[in-house]
Amino acid sequence: MSVAPAALAAFAAQWQARTVDALHPWREQAMLRFLRLGLPGSRDESWRYTSLRGLAASDFVASTEETLGAGPTDPTFNYTLPLDAVRVDLVNGYPQPASLPTAAGLRLASLRDRARDDAADLSTRLGAPSDSEQQRWALLNAALFVDGLHVLIDGVVDVPLLLVHHTHGPSANTSAHPRLLVEAAPGSSATIIEWHVETGAGATLCNSAAQIALAPDAQIEHYRIFSAGPAATNIDTLEIRLAANSRCKQFTVALGGELLRTNLEAHLDGAGAELDSFSLLVGSGPRHVDCMNVAAHHAPRTQSRQTAREIAGDTSRVIFNSKVIVDAGAAHAQSQQSSRGLLLSPGAEIDTRPQLEIHTDEVKCAHGATTGRLDPNMLFYMLSRGIDRATAQSLLVYAFLADVLTDMSSRGTRAGVEAQLISQLPDSDLLREFR
């Protein structure tokens, strides 16, 4: 008889210990599916580059409702950026303060409160649980999240919404499951920034999940930025649904953690929908970063563009695995996939895998992927101008990432990302002068 991994047994115990709430039937569906499918492994196609053996052996304990005063402030997060944002802190998924801020065109509510008010309506908005391997951890999140945030956008929101996810645990192996639901009304627009940090004792697991639904003609610019400590594990699942003529500009930025796995599943459901996805994946030390993107075109004249830049130094490993699916009814769809990787040391590794699955004619789809080292001609040119090797290499690395940085419309967010990025490169003091 096979023995269940420690993590799976721990999650099952957490489920059994939960207080039954108004969402219990919906949660139970998700948990039963998760237990039946088990933890993803190397036999699951989208997980072939990432081993979860260490995680599977961990005996996780459930996080509790904490306040910001429960742990030290994470020193890697610049809390002053962006200055003009409406800000909500979520500690282990619990929104703070209890009285949520407001802004024109923006309504915020606690998911726990929404469940108490109308559980049937909320479960409908959250949708039916999925068996897809990219959604495996979202099933666990659905079963175990206690609270989260519901964001309704019903106008043009002029200021960014900054959501700071704090994972806090008094001891190692604390697991938290933050949940976010965003719904954008027809013609609305907003910028949403999710920034993941760690304020606990280390070796925490943050299994976050977010759903973004755009109505016709809505526009969202969304950021998810990961900068937890060196012992933290982040697994994030993002689902985006785009109605007719809606547009989503999405940024995934990996700057911290020991193990980071991000899943993006975008469904272009309406004619004329557009997705622009940008991934900035930075590996240093022994960090492992795995980014999985799927863009599914279900309607005609839809467009998706994926731009990824990966750098890996020391003994890190960075993976960018992207897939575009064009259904039979998606005539005249267009897609582009661009992935460029930069290796900074002999012990580092980068894996890229662009995929196309096309079921109709009259489409325009292209992809390209390259991985290599710094251009020796450019390096020689800079050295010949009197720049020392370490500084020249850092400047070239910084320039390599410009394709993603320059597309960030939120200046404050870009400044915060640049500050953390530069701190991980040699000659950081000198590089700050070039910003």
pLDDT tens digits along 41-54: 888 888 999 999 99
**pLDDT at residue number 72:** 42
Q: Tell me if 263 sits within 8 A of 405, measured CB to CB.
A: no
The stretches in the chain having pLDDT less than 50 are 1, 70-72, 75
Over residues 278-319, the pLDDT tens digits come to 999 999 999 999 999 999 999 999 999 999 999 998 999 999
Amino acid present at 141: N
**pLDDT at residue number 155:** 97
Amino acid present at 35: L
**pLDDT at residue number 96:** 87
**pLDDT at residue number 70:** 47
**pLDDT at residue number 427:** 64
**pLDDT at residue number 434:** 61
Question: How many residues make up the chain in this entry?
Answer: 435
Q: Tell me if 13 sits within 8 A of 1, measured CB to CB.
A: no
**pLDDT at residue number 435:** 61
Q: Tell me if 174 sits within 8 A of 204, measured CB to CB.
A: yes
d(CA 143, CA 127): 13
Residue 97: is the preceding peptide bond cis (ω within 30°)?
yes
**pLDDT at residue number 94:** 93
Contacts of 294 (CB under 8 A, 6+ apart): 134, 264, 265, 266, 322, 323, 324, 325
**pLDDT at residue number 131:** 82
Q: Tell me if 62 sits within 8 A of 144, measured CB to CB.
A: yes
**pLDDT at residue number 71:** 45
**pLDDT at residue number 80:** 56
